[in-house]
Structure 1
Amino acid sequence: MQTIELDAPDGTIEAIVARPTGQGPWPGVVVLHDGVGFGTDLRGNVEMLADYGYLAIAPNLFSRGRVRCIRSIFDALLRTGEGPPIRDILAARGYLLADVDCTRKTAVIGFCLGGGFALLTAAQGFDAAAPFYPGLYGDYRSILNGACPIVASYAALDPSLIGAPAKLDRALTALQVEHDIKSYPATMHGFANVFPVEPLLRVTGLGYDQDAARDAWQRIFAFFDRHLGTEDRVARPDAT
């Protein structure tokens, strides 16, 4: 895994890239962080994707300063659906497509706010999108018109996204977009992430849920097999 400077329309940003071992080409995956930003959890997911045979890149959407970036991020999520974060994500996809070892099939994975951006960019050239507990606002049908196939994972006890899985399902069904949406019982927001304060989160009922996370990743990789042309991939390591 290496850290690079990624050229984007609004200026250079930091990104991390991980390449599979062996000989390509490989499909590419853009990985979008949550509100915590870059950390060991994100890096672990990027490395896992490379182990599974994907050329992976994670752009740091906070590269231009956390306060400034948070404003533009929530402006895009809550109001406009566009702006620097969207352009940064598409620049990351462009980086993958320019790599000679990329099959030119790409997916986007995101967590929390990154999941929201995975949905916002699902209609902008990706072949599959895999949002975890995504926050998306506005008219889902308008935002997701022309979207790629979507495999989404929610926490059933997430108070911030009550009704969101059903709303996403209705929109994608109406748009005839292939999708797999699952809400995991007895889990809370962040069930697929491991944070530095994990022991405290467990006391409050939040935190990582190994069984749910494993099932979500299995669904994602099966979905990617169909849409990124990886059905003949060799046996993979455990996703957790």
Structure 2
Amino acid sequence: MVPYHDTDAAGKEMNSLDFMDATTQTVRGAAQYLGRNGAKVGLTGFCLGGAVTIIGATKIPELTAGVVFYGIPPEAAAKPSDVKIPLQAHFANRDDWCTPQVVDAFEKAMKAAGKSLELFRYDADHAFVNEQRLSVHDRKAAELAWGRATEFFNKHLG
């Protein structure tokens, strides 16, 4: 267990994570379980979880739609051309991890591949949805993003 505010420990844990195993084993297993009775399954994640959502969009056939919050994996882990489901993505303009340039490249690659992407940018910082991080939380942007994500999932998951 990594304490929430221990960024050094969190960084070590994140760097040691096998993204592909976490996605293709753990997340796929959950998607298979949730969809066992024919239910449509969506995936969402924040930061690292956002990256896992994009990986899942390329590797997990049981998914129907995904919503990404400020996270993009390396292209070696998930090529935009391999995305198989509609995605919605929310990014912060003042993000020093998922920079606007990284977001631009992702958006361009998704469009070039003809993939379904709704992408929104907010005048906010990385983790703007996180109410526990008061220094970056942006209530107005978070509520707008949540509303959009809810509408997207309602549209694609029913």
Aligned partners of 2:12 and 2:57: how far apart in 1?
Answer: 25
Among 101, 108, 118, the alignment partner of 1:170 is 108
- In structure 2, relative to structure 1, the CA distance for the partners of 1:147 and 1:70 (3 Å cut) is same
Among 87, 110, 113, the alignment partner of 1:150 is 87
- 1:228 shift after superposition: 1.3
- In structure 2, relative to structure 1, the CA distance for the partners of 1:68 and 1:184 (3 Å cut) is closer
Query: Residue 125 of structure 2 aligns to a residue in which SS?
Result: coil
Aligned partners of 1:97 and 1:69: how far apart in 2?
Answer: 29
Q: Is the 8 A contact 2:54 2:83 kept in 1?
A: no
- 1:138 shift after superposition: 2.4
| Counterpart residue number, 2:150 | 221
- 1:141 shift after superposition: 7.3
| Counterpart residue number, 2:73 | 136
Query: Residue 223 of structure 1 aligns to a residue in which SS?
Result: helix
- 1:165 shift after superposition: 2.0
* Deviation by residue 1:117-167 (Cα, 9 ceiling, x = unmatched): 000011222111101000311258735414211100011101112212211
Among 108, 117, 130, the alignment partner of 2:43 is 108
Length-normalised TM-score, structure 2? 0.81
| Counterpart residue number, 1:117 | 52
Matches within 5 A, 1:59-138: 70-73=14-17, 75-76=18-19, 82-98=20-36, 100=37, 103-123=38-58, 124-125=60-61, 126-138=63-75
Aligned partners of 2:25 and 2:121: how far apart in 1?
Answer: 30
Aligned partners of 1:182 and 1:169: how far apart in 2?
Answer: 10
| Counterpart residue number, 2:98 | 161
Query: Residue 160 of structure 1 aligns to a residue in which SS?
Result: coil
- The count of residues paired between Structure 1 and Structure 2 equals 149
Aligned partners of 1:130 and 1:143: how far apart in 2?
Answer: 14
Larger-gyration structure (1/2): 1
| Counterpart residue number, 1:41 | none
Query: Residue 83 of structure 1 aligns to a residue in which SS?
Result: helix
Length-normalised TM-score, structure 1? 0.55
Query: Residue 119 of structure 2 aligns to a residue in which SS?
Result: strand
Aligned partners of 1:71 and 1:141: how far apart in 2?
Answer: 17
- 1:36 shift after superposition: 4.0
| Counterpart residue number, 2:139 | 210
> What is the identity, as a one-letter code, of the residue corresponding to 2:142?
A
Note the aligned Cα RMSD (angstroms). Answer: 2.6
- In structure 2, relative to structure 1, the CA distance for the partners of 1:95 and 1:112 (3 Å cut) is same
